[in-house]
Amino acid sequence: MSFDVAPYGAFIWPAYAVTVIALGGLIVWTIAKWRAAKAKLAALEKQ
Amino acid sequence: MFDWLFRYANPARFLGLSGAVLPWLAAVTVLTIGTGLYLGFSAPPDYQQGRTVLIMFIHVPAASMATVVYLSMAVASLFSLVNRHILADVAARTAAPIGAVFTLLALATGSLWGKPMWGTWWEWDGRMTSTLVQFFLYLGYSALWNAIEDETKAARICAILALVGAVNIPIIKFSVDWWATLHQGESIVSGHVAPVFLGPLLTMMGGYFLLFLTLWLVRIRTMIVERRARNLMGAEA
C-alpha cells in the first residue's frame, strides 16, 4: 500500500477530500434527519 | 405480478424489516469501501495515467451511481404513477438528494482527473454535458417536490418529471458512441481495464452501491416517521 502520489498529489488529494466531505456530509445529514424525526414522533406519542 | 413487493411495501412492515437489515448493511458497506480503498492504494501506477488512476476508483463509482440512483428514482416514479403507492412516492423523493451528491462527485472528481490528463478542467462534450444535465434534473426534481404543497399532486407531477428526465440516461450512456467526445468510451465490459485495476474499481462500485442502499433505506424510514408525526399533529389539531 502506497500513499506516494507524486507528481499528481495536487489533483488526487483534492478529489479524495471532496469525496470524503460530500459523502461524509450526506451521511451526517441523513443520520441527523432520522434522529430528529424519531425524537419528534416520540415526543408527540408521549403527549 | 408485484403483489409480493407490495406486501413488504406496507410502511409499518417496511420499518420493521429495514430496521433489522440496516446495521448489517452499514457494516458490509464500510467493509467493502475499506477493502476497495486498500486495494486501490495498493495498485501500481498506470503506465499512462500514473497514480491519477486512484481518482478513477472514486470517479467511476460516483458516475455509475449517478445513473443507478436516477434509474431507481424513475422505477419508483413509475410505481407511484401506476399503483399510487405511498412508499413509491417516498422512495423516489428520498433518492434524489443522494443522486445529486453522487452526480456532483462524478463531475468534480472527473474534472480533477481531466486537468492533469487532458489539460482541461471541463469540456462541453456529450458525456460531461449530459451528466451536468442530470445534476440539474436532480435539483429540479427536489425543488419541484418542495414547491408544491399538496403532496398527492406533487407526487404525480414529480413522477412525470422523473420519467421524462429518464430520457437522459441513454444519452449519458451512449454519448461516447454517438459523438466524438473527449471522454473515453466504455472500458469495463469491453475488457479494457487491467485486472490489477478492475479489482479495486469493482469493489469500490459495490461499496458505493451499498452506501446508496443504506442511505436510501434510512431516508425512506425518516420520511415515513415524519409523515406519522404530521398525521399525529393533524389529529391533535
Which tens digits make up the pLDDT trace of B113-140? 999 999 999 999 999 999 999 999 999 9
* Residues of A with Cβ-Cβ distance to B97 under 8 angstroms: 26
Query: In whole numbers, what is the pLDDT of chain B averaged over residues?
Result: 92
* Residues of B with Cβ-Cβ distance to A1 under 8 angstroms: 38, 41-42
Report the pLDDT value the prediction gives residue B5, as an integer from 0 to 100. 64
On the question of pLDDT at B214 being above 70, the answer is: yes
- Mean pLDDT computed over A20-29: 98
Burial class (CB in 10 A: 0-12, 13-18, 19+), A36: middle
A 21-40 residues with CB below 8 A of B?
22-23, 25-27, 30-31, 33-34, 37-38, 40
Give every CB contact of residue B79 below 8 A, 6+ residues apart in sequence: B2, B85, B88
Report the pLDDT value the prediction gives residue B187, as an integer from 0 to 100. 84
Rounded to the nearest angstrom, the minimum Cα separation between A12 and chain B is 6
Pick the more confident residue, A6 or B141: B141
Domain ranges of chain B: 20-236
Report the pLDDT value the prediction gives residue B86, as an integer from 0 to 100. 84
Q: For residue range B185-195, what is the model confidence (pLDDT) as tens digits?
A: 888 888 888 99
Chain B contact present for A11, CB below 8 A:
yes
pLDDT band at B2 (very low <50, low <70, confident <90, very high): low
> What are the angstrom distances between the C-alpha of B149 and each of B86, B181, B184?
16, 42, 44
C-alpha–C-alpha distance, residues A35 and B52, integer Å: 39
Interface contact A45-B232, CB threshold 8 A:
yes
Query: In whole numbers, what is the pLDDT of chain A averaged over residues?
Result: 95
Q: For residue range B89-120, what is the model confidence (pLDDT) as tens digits?
A: 999 999 999 999 999 999 999 999 999 999 99
On the question of pLDDT at B56 being above 90, the answer is: yes
- Report pTM: 0.94
On the question of pLDDT at B181 being above 90, the answer is: no
Which chain A residue is nearest to residue B55, measuring alpha carbons? Answer: A12
The residue count of chain B comes to 237
Helices (H), B119-194: 126-147, 151-165, 168-178
**CATH of region B20-236, choose from 2.160.20, 1.20.120, 1.10.1760, 3.30.450:** 1.20.120
Where is average pLDDT lowest: B46-55, B178-187, B209-218?
B178-187
On the question of pLDDT at B237 being above 80, the answer is: no
On the question of pLDDT at B235 being above 80, the answer is: no
Report the pLDDT value the prediction gives residue B138, as an integer from 0 to 100. 97
Interface contact B104-A22, CB threshold 8 A:
yes
Interface contact A8-B211, CB threshold 8 A:
no
Q: Which candidate from A3, A14, A44 shows the least CB-CB separation from B112?
A: A14
Which cell numbers in the block locate residue B101?
451528491
* Start-to-end Cα distance in chain A: 56
Is residue B217 within 8 Å of B16, Cβ to Cβ? no
Q: Is the ipTM of this complex over 0.90?
A: yes
